[in-house]
Amino acid sequence: MKNAHFCIGILVAIFLAKLNPSIGNTGGILRPEITVKYLAVSIIFLISGVTLPTEDLTGALLQWDLHVFVQGFTFVIFPVIVYVLVSILQYSFLHPALLEGLTVLSTMPPPVSSAIILTRSVGGNEAAAVFNSAFGSMLGIFVTPFLILLLLGSSEVEMPYDRIFKQLCITVALPLLIGQIIHNTLYKTYRRMHIPFKTIGQVLILFIIYTTFCGTFSRTEMSLDTLSLVCTVLLMLILLIFIQLLLLHSSVYIGFDQEDALAIMYVGSHKNLIIGIPMIDIVFAESPNISLLSIPLLMYNPMQIVLGGMSIEPIRQWLLDQKRKRRKPAFAWSHV
């Protein structure tokens, strides 16, 4: 299997994070609050800027139907699906705070890292993924607090809008602009250098997986019985797979091509941990159940990266098969 080394890398990253999570946790030696939040994300968008033709980016900007579909699903359909699910699960044995955390998860914006790397890795519409990840993250700092207030009634939401906006400009807009300048002025030069952009992207995603799991394993205050833990893990996995299948099938059905559908699948199903955890800490600072509220997002985020990483080769092969057949059948997850 061509992608076996990457799958092994994912397992090794998780294992190393479990051994000593303090290394990759916030404030640890690797300082993920800087190396991931700023450096890794900046490199991802710099690579996108360097490798994407300007006409692809400008073309993606005009795909309004795709943007409306992705953002509408992210901030409307996803929360509605989870609202219905939580309404059913409230009669189960799961702690109410876990269900509130699931609701909070559904309101989160897309990430500005994993969805882009995975879309690029499988051959999807990277330009669309770049735009919708960046736009969705920026939109989320305003929409997500409103959705939390609407669905859970949490008040006194004081988001540091200025700081987050500046962060997105520094880590997203500026590197993308610099990358485009490099692409349009030094294209022949860097092409001759044979820079392994794909390998760099995989290393970055492994680093993100490692630090994410370090943060998850470091939250030792999470007191959850074994049955609830197992059920929550399974629930997050089933939800993620269901959302991705729904996005992929529906986007192809309504007429998007396969490359667009893959970008839609990743961006629409992924949730932002870097914005999410600080937002939970701010909104629910006084809640005694804040640890339980964080669990769904802490589980869902690494799961979306791990599942995406392990399915790169099968999905890429599926896309190649569809290109050869010149038709658009719905993708079957059983191929993964």
Domains of the chain: 4-327 (1.20.1530.20)
Amino acid at 335: H
What pLDDT score was predicted for residue 328? 53
% helix / strand / coil in the chain, to the nearest 5? 75, 0, 25
Alpha-carbon distance of 141 to 129, in angstroms, equals 18
Non-local (6+) Cβ contacts of 233 within 8 A are 299
What pLDDT score was predicted for residue 71? 95
Of the CA atoms within 13 Å of residue 134, those in its CB half-sphere come to 27
Q: Cβ(184)–Cβ(252) under 8 Å?
A: no
Alpha-carbon distance of 249 to 265, in angstroms, equals 9
Q: How many residues does the chain have?
A: 336
Q: Cβ(319)–Cβ(259) under 8 Å?
A: yes
Measure Cα distances from 231 to 149, 185, 191, 196, 228 in Å.
27, 53, 49, 40, 5
What pLDDT score was predicted for residue 146? 85
Measure Cα distances from 104 to 36, 69, 271, 272 in Å.
23, 21, 11, 11
SS3 34: helix
Closest CA to 129 of 47, 188, 234, 8: 47
Mean pLDDT, contiguous 10-residue spans, the chain (336 residues) = 69 88 89 87 86 82 92 96 94 88 93 85 91 88 85 63 76 87 84 83 84 76 72 92 95 92 95 79 73 84 86 87 67 52
Token look-up 């089933």 returns: 238
Cα dihedral 172/259/236/137 (nearest 10) = 20
Please report how the helices 54-61 and 126-152 are oriented relative to each other, as an axis angle in degrees rounded to 10.
40
